[in-house]
Structures are given as C-alpha cells and as structure tokens.
Amino acid sequence: MTTTEARSHDVAVLGEALVDIVTTSAGASERPGGSPANVSVALGRLGRDAVLVARVADDERGASLHAWLSASGVTLMTAGSPERTATARATIGENGNATYDFDIDWVLPSPVEVPTARIFHTGSVAATLAPGADEVRAAAERARATALVSYDPNIRPALTGGHTDATARVEALVALADVVKASAEDAEWLYPGVAPAEVARRWVELGAGLAVITDGEAGSLAVTAHTSVEIAAVSVSVVDTVGAGDTFMGTLLDGILNMPGDVDELRASVRAVDRDTLVELLNRAARAAAITVGREGMDPPTRDDLDA
C-alpha cells in the first residue's frame, strides 16, 4: 500500500477503513467505507490534501479500498499488517437507515505514526475498540501540539466494550478535541434522556471548543463557550443515509480549514467563532450531507457540486 511523503497535510485521519457488505431488499453488494475513511474521502472530494492512517490488508478488499481512496485524492498510510481487511455487514432498512455487524482487528503499532497536518481527525470504532483505542487517544494527545483535534464518536454499540467504558473513552477524547461532531442517536446512547443541546454544552465544559449535534431531518445544533445556534435540515429525498454524518464532518472541517493561521490561531478562531460564521459552516455541511443521502452509498459532493 501507499505511504506518505514527509510533508504537512491539510488533514490527517486516524481510524478504520473497511468494506461494507450491504444488504437491501434488492440483494447484497460490497462498498468501501468506515467512518474515518469516509471523512477523508469527503475532504478529498472537496480538494483537500487528506491522508488516512488505517489497517488495510494486502488482499482484494484492501485493493478496492486503496483504489476508492486514491480516486478521491486521499493518501493511504497503512498501520500494521492485518491478515484480512475489515468488513461491516450493513443492513439498510425501509427508512434508509443502516445497522452493522463488524469483523475488524484493531491492533495498532505503539506509537502509531501519524503525519503532520493542520487538523488531526479520529472517531468511531477506532476510538473505542480495544486495544487500538488507547493508541488513538495517545496519538490525539501528541497531535495537539501541531494540529487542531477533531473527533466524531459515531458509536457502534456492539464494539464499545460496554456503556461505561465507551462513555469514559468518548469523554477522554472530547477533553482533547477542539471540534466534536456527533449524531443525536449517539448522544442519546451515551447520555439517555439528556437533551442534545445539553450534551453539547457538557462537552464544551469538558474542553471541546465546538460541539455539534446532528439530527437528520430535525437539523443540527452547535455550541461553543460563547454562543449556540440551531439550523434546519435541507429537504431531500433520501436514498440511503450511509456516509451522511461523515460528509457533514468532512465539510465542516473543510470550512474550518479556510480560517487562517497556525494551530494556535486556528484553535482560537474555532473557540471564538461568531454566530454568523457558525451558521454558515453548519448550513454548508448540511447541504453536503443532503447531496450524499440523495445518492446511493458514500458518494459525497465535489467542491463544484457543493458550490453549484
């Protein structure tokens, strides 16, 4: 597989890349995916220099992942040598939502090598599945010195090790993160009965600079220490929801990358972002997610698609 040159990237993503074995009423098919990989593809489609650090085997499915990432301009950097490329059996229901059954080996080198970038992003299975989750947290701690840290819990309950352990891991990464994005479903699983806005405020109190909660057709909200906003969803005919949240996350990071300055200035800008700028960032991310759910599979927009 491909390794990276010693240069600084726009975004370095650490997390799983896998093959979704998707079952619908029409039958089964295989698609490349994995939440962190999807985020890197969303960024690559928008013209960003993104590198993904993931465990991908030298097999047929690994080759398909490599080709998929490369087609969107994403550089793949392998971490270790798994026996087989990870899979997730996804069943798409009548409402377009997916449920998953995973086959994944998440054992990372210690320390795991992550290239330099303006933003370090991680999340999902990579951040909660032992033993690799500990290396992910350590990598996030190291990255803070040179990069903005971004995190999407994207909870997969079957792989968390239990609610208490998962919540502790999530909150440890939230405390390290400058930007956190989660779905309302994730927020409800982590904190049953707590309103999404309150979850976002709790995460800001833990240390996050910006906390965003998305809720499908109900829109999204964002909270910082200084302001909070809510936006409506973009009306769209849903084909399937695979990759919607990851597209939102990638597009949000793309907007943040437009802010000038080194890591300290970028971190300060995110934490002090004004209401109008925040609304603009969320609306743009929501438009991108709407384009993705209107297509089959993880097919995020290019910059031309989004700006049309």
Closest CA to 119 of 287, 302, 305, 252: 252
In whole angstroms, give the CA distance from residue 191 to residue 88. Answer: 26
**For residue range 107-133, what is the model confidence (pLDDT) as tens digits?**
999 999 999 999 999 999 999 999 999
Assessment of whether the complete model's pTM goes beyond 0.85: yes
In the chain, DSSP assigns E strands to 9-14, 18-24, 27-33, 50-54, 75-78, 87-92, 98-103, 117-123, 148-152, 179-183, 210-214, 220-223, 228-231
100 vs 269 pLDDT, higher one: 269
User: Given the structure tokens 């989004």, which residue do they identify?
Assistant: 306
Domain ranges of the chain: 9-296
**For residue range 194-224, what is the model confidence (pLDDT) as tens digits?**
999 999 999 999 999 999 999 988 999 999 9
What is the sign, positive or negative, of the torsion defined by CA atoms of 130, 143, 196, 235? Answer: negative
**For residue range 22-77, what is the model confidence (pLDDT) as tens digits?**
777 777 789 899 999 999 999 999 999 999 999 999 999 999 999 999 999 999 99
**For residue range 281-294, what is the model confidence (pLDDT) as tens digits?**
999 999 999 999 88
Here the contacts of 23-31 (C-beta below 8 Å, separation 24 or greater) are: 23/89, 23/90, 23/91, 23/92, 24/91, 24/92, 25/94, 30/61, 30/64, 31/242, 31/297, 31/298
Structure-block tokens of residue 12: 């370095």
Question: Helix count (H) and strand count (E) of the chain?
Answer: 11, 13
- pLDDT value, residue 153: 96
Q: Contact 259/205 with Cβ under 8 angstroms?
A: no
CA angle at 297 for the pair 295 and 301, rounded to the nearest 5°: 55
Q: How confident is the model at residue 4 (pLDDT cuts 50, 70, 90)?
A: very low
In whole angstroms, give the CA distance from residue 129 to residue 105. Answer: 9
Report which DSSP code applies to 96. S
To which CATH superfamily is domain 9-296 assigned?
Ribokinase (3.40.1190.20)
